[in-house]
Chain A
Amino acid sequence: MTEKKKSQLSILFSVIALIGIAIVLFCVNRFTPPTFMLRTVLQLGAIYALVAVSMNLLNGFTGLFSLGQAGFMAVGAYTFAIFTIPVSSRPGVYYLYGVADWLKNIHLPILAGLLAAGLVAAVLAALIGAPVLRLKSDYFAIATLGFAEIVRIIVGSTPMNRVTNGSLGLKMIPKFPNFYFPFLISGICILIIALLLRSSYGRAFKAIREDEIAAEAMGINLAKHKQMSFIISSFFAGIGGALMGMFLGAITSTTFNITLTYNILLIVVIGGMGSMTGSIISAFLVIAAREWWLRFLDQSTYIGSFHVPLLKTGFRMVVFSIILMIVVLFFRKGIMGMKEFNWNFILNRLDKKDPAASAGGEGNE
């Protein structure tokens, strides 16, 4: 099999897979009751996949260990909520403090709201990026973590009452207009990130990750590329935050605490730092396990008259943290390592069936 044929087949498989996913989503939407767990898991999984990929862009591809993701998500979610909560329901939301005057009559449609969420997060990233990106590895991590906490505290503080509703948080955030919405938005965003990573910018990011000094010597403008990676990652984190707001319908500043960042980091690490498809797969796996498959760990259970030990509220998260530790200690590469998903495992098998072609194929590799 020639390289050309291989790549054609890969595209074919990808198209088939996409159609397959579309059909699955259609069936789920059509044939499952609205409260079915699978629907929630898939939607939340799509949101987490986007956020995890955006974190991976920074942590896995550019080698900048950021812990500020929840902060940018908070910015996105709040921006989105402030501008899209219907004007008519605002008095109900801001019942205690009232709405700020400038905000009273501004209302954005959902898509514009998402874009605004991303842009505000990106602008904020640009502002703090210039100073913070000068810091080295762990200092950068702590500074971004500190930044996320600052955002969270300011958003929930009393002077912001008339804008963010202070510690009461915002509710009545528009829900997804239809079942497919989060998949579509996440899909488009992830596609943009994937295209970016395939471009020369993406290669520059990876060069910075491998060796900053060598990359600089090769003529890569470190400051510019780090800044870019940080801004783009924050932009998509902002959109992810907005989607999260839509999914939850109500947000407070505590929704976006450090634990959220840790949860996303867990997904990125399990998927493999530096693998987008890894992050996506692991997002769905982790969310499905956490919200659905492992739910039973939180309920005390009897088998016959036998009381199963250990099972009670909170055990699920303990199991989760142990899984994370096992991955960190023994499977440091995660599910995908730094590789991306590809169809080679099928293509190679097809090759083997045809020994003559296989000999030619190996020559090409």
Chain B
Amino acid sequence: MTSTAFLQYCLTGISIGGIYALIAIGYTMVYGILRLINFAHGDIFMMAAYFMIFAMVDFALPWYVSIILVLTATVVLGVVIEKVAYKPLRSAPRMSIMISAIGVSYLLQNLATYLFSALPKGYPTIAFLTKTIRIGTLSTSVVTFITPILTLAFVFILIQLINHTKMGMAMRAVSKDFETSQLMGIKINRVISFTFVIGCFLAAVGSILYFTPRPSVYPLAGSLPGLKCFIAAVFGGIGSIPGAVLGGFLIGLSETFIKAAGYSEFSDVFTFILLIVVLLFKPTGLFGEKITEKV
């Protein structure tokens, strides 16, 4: 592998890793607060892609209007899902709420198949994002280049938000102890909705960045990236935002290099094996807090 090729792969890996990180944040935040693996998150990501097709292809809107529309629609979808499918089960056993999440994922996939057909649909190109640029000897599209920058910017803003605002403080309190924070007068439902707003917003951004360099979208397009991002979140320690970001970049990089080495069939196997190994040796991930079960 020449050094140019190596750098090229690094850039690709960091870029896809950035997208994984954005989605992983959604998983990790929801898990931190609700203790729920939001199985539907990957499908929300997929729906965001269809919203984009809708806005740009079917309604022929300019890209800047479309992006705003996609972000709004995805956030609304996420909040509605939370209100309809998760809120009524707040006091139910954890298994029920997990089944509900799986049900939502199943519903979204079937709904997408119904509305947009199972055939892959072309993703609209956003002209300025797909332009090729050259940095030294590397040539890459704008989107590959700006993805990690955008990711880091969003993560920075998010961390500021969580550490320095009232809502952020409420979120930290709720993830520490659900009931006590409720007793302290924190409006739980507002905090949870806000978490979903952030998670879905980042998933929508991730979706635009993920699908722009890819040719097409299909109804199951979200399930595998979704799982990988969940693994990224577990790897970094679920509930921890820096952990999710690190996990995302790591999985993106390792996946790219396995593909580069000619084992593209097995890149997902590697990711899942990574998950099982992490769970076995350090179930709390890199930055996760240890939770002991009380009798």
Interface of A is mostly: helix
Given A132-B276, A312-B114, answer yes or no on A318-B107 (Cβ-Cβ < 8 Å).
yes
User: Contact mask B95-137 → A, CB, 8 Å, 1/0?
Assistant: 1101110111111011101110110000000000000000000
- Which among B103, B104, B227 has the greatest number of chain A C-beta atoms within 10 A? B103
Q: Which of A45-53, A280-288, A319-327 contacts B (4 or more CB under 8 A)?
A: A319-327
Alpha-carbon separation in the docked complex, A315 to B35 (Å) = 32
Q: Which of B240-248, B249-257, B263-271 contacts A (4 or more CB under 8 A)?
A: B263-271
Contacts of A158 in B (CB 8 A): 265
Asked if B114 and A262 sit within 8 Å, CB to CB, the answer is: no
Alpha-carbon separation in the docked complex, A265 to B98 (Å) = 12
Contacts of A132 in B (CB 8 A): 276
Q: How far is the CB of B283 from chain A (nearest CB, A)?
A: 7
Asked if A329 and B88 sit within 8 Å, CB to CB, the answer is: yes
Alpha-carbon separation in the docked complex, A142 to B283 (Å) = 12
Q: Confirm or deny: A147 has a beta carbon within 8 angstroms of a beta carbon on chain B.
A: yes
Closest to A146 in B: B272
Given A142-B37, A321-B107, A332-B96, answer yes or no on A135-B114 (Cβ-Cβ < 8 Å).
no
Closest to A327 in B: B103
Q: How far is the CB of B85 from chain A (nearest CB, A)?
A: 7
A262-279 interface with B by 8 A CB criterion:
262, 265-266, 269, 273
Asked if A146 and B113 sit within 8 Å, CB to CB, the answer is: no
Contacts of B279 in A (CB 8 A): 135, 139, 143
Asked if A145 and B227 sit within 8 Å, CB to CB, the answer is: yes
Q: Confirm or deny: B94 has a beta carbon within 8 angstroms of a beta carbon on chain A.
A: yes
Contacts of A150 in B (CB 8 A): 269, 272-273
Q: Confirm or deny: A228 has a beta carbon within 8 angstroms of a beta carbon on chain B.
A: no
Asked if B103 and A143 sit within 8 Å, CB to CB, the answer is: no
A132-174 interface with B by 8 A CB criterion:
132, 134-139, 141-143, 145-147, 149-150, 153-154, 157-158
Q: Confirm or deny: A328 has a beta carbon within 8 angstroms of a beta carbon on chain B.
A: yes
User: Contact mask B257-295 → A, CB, 8 Å, 1/0?
Assistant: 000000001101100110110011001000000000101
Q: Confirm or deny: B195 has a beta carbon within 8 angstroms of a beta carbon on chain A.
A: no
Contacts of B107 in A (CB 8 A): 318, 321-322, 324-325
Closest to A157 in B: B265
Q: Confirm or deny: B66 has a beta carbon within 8 angstroms of a beta carbon on chain A.
A: no
Q: Confirm or deny: B20 has a beta carbon within 8 angstroms of a beta carbon on chain A.
A: no
Q: Confirm or deny: B153 has a beta carbon within 8 angstroms of a beta carbon on chain A.
A: no
Asked if B118 and A314 sit within 8 Å, CB to CB, the answer is: yes
Asked if B283 and A135 sit within 8 Å, CB to CB, the answer is: yes
> Within the complex, which residue of A145, A154, A328 is in contact with B96, where a contact is CB–CB below 8 Å?
A328
Contacts of A324 in B (CB 8 A): 103, 106-107
Alpha-carbon separation in the docked complex, A136 to B35 (Å) = 12
Asked if A137 and B94 sit within 8 Å, CB to CB, the answer is: yes
Asked if A320 and B110 sit within 8 Å, CB to CB, the answer is: yes
Contacts of A153 in B (CB 8 A): 265-266, 268-269
Contacts of B223 in A (CB 8 A): 258
Q: Confirm or deny: A131 has a beta carbon within 8 angstroms of a beta carbon on chain B.
A: yes
Given A321-B103, A324-B106, answer yes or no on A329-B89 (Cβ-Cβ < 8 Å).
yes
Asked if A146 and B276 sit within 8 Å, CB to CB, the answer is: yes
Q: Confirm or deny: B201 has a beta carbon within 8 angstroms of a beta carbon on chain A.
A: no
Given A134-B280, A147-B272, A324-B106, answer yes or no on A313-B117 (Cβ-Cβ < 8 Å).
yes
B24-44 interface with A by 8 A CB criterion:
35-37
Q: Confirm or deny: A289 has a beta carbon within 8 angstroms of a beta carbon on chain B.
A: no
Q: Confirm or deny: B92 has a beta carbon within 8 angstroms of a beta carbon on chain A.
A: yes
Asked if B98 and A149 sit within 8 Å, CB to CB, the answer is: no
> Within the complex, which residue of B36, B96, B106, B276 is in contact with A131, where a contact is CB–CB below 8 Å?
B276
Contacts of B276 in A (CB 8 A): 131-132, 143, 146-147
Contacts of A143 in B (CB 8 A): 275-276, 279
User: Contact mask A328-355 → B, CB, 8 Å, 1/0?
Assistant: 1100100000000000000000000000
Q: Confirm or deny: B230 has a beta carbon within 8 angstroms of a beta carbon on chain A.
A: yes
Q: Confirm or deny: A317 has a beta carbon within 8 angstroms of a beta carbon on chain B.
A: yes
Given A137-B94, A138-B37, answer yes or no on A262-B102 (Cβ-Cβ < 8 Å).
yes
Alpha-carbon separation in the docked complex, A120 to B110 (Å) = 33
List 14 additional A-B contacts (Cβ < 8 Å) besides A131-B276, A269-B99: A65-B98, A137-B98, A138-B98, A146-B227, A146-B276, A147-B276, A150-B272, A153-B268, A258-B223, A266-B103, A314-B117, A318-B110, A322-B107, A324-B103
9 contacts between A and B (CB under 8 A): A142-B231, A146-B231, A146-B275, A153-B265, A259-B109, A314-B114, A325-B104, A328-B89, A329-B89
Chain B residues close to A by CB (< 8 Å)? 35-37, 84-85, 88-89, 92, 94-96, 98-100, 102-107, 109-111, 113-115, 117-118, 220, 223, 227, 230-231, 234, 265-266, 268-269, 272-273, 275-276, 279-280, 283, 293, 295
Chain A residues close to B by CB (< 8 Å)? 59, 63, 65, 131-132, 134-139, 141-143, 145-147, 149-150, 153-154, 157-158, 213, 258-259, 262, 265-266, 269, 273, 312-315, 317-318, 320-322, 324-325, 328-329, 332
6 nearest A-B residue pairs (beta carbon):
A314-B114, A321-B107, A146-B272, A317-B110, A314-B113, A157-B265
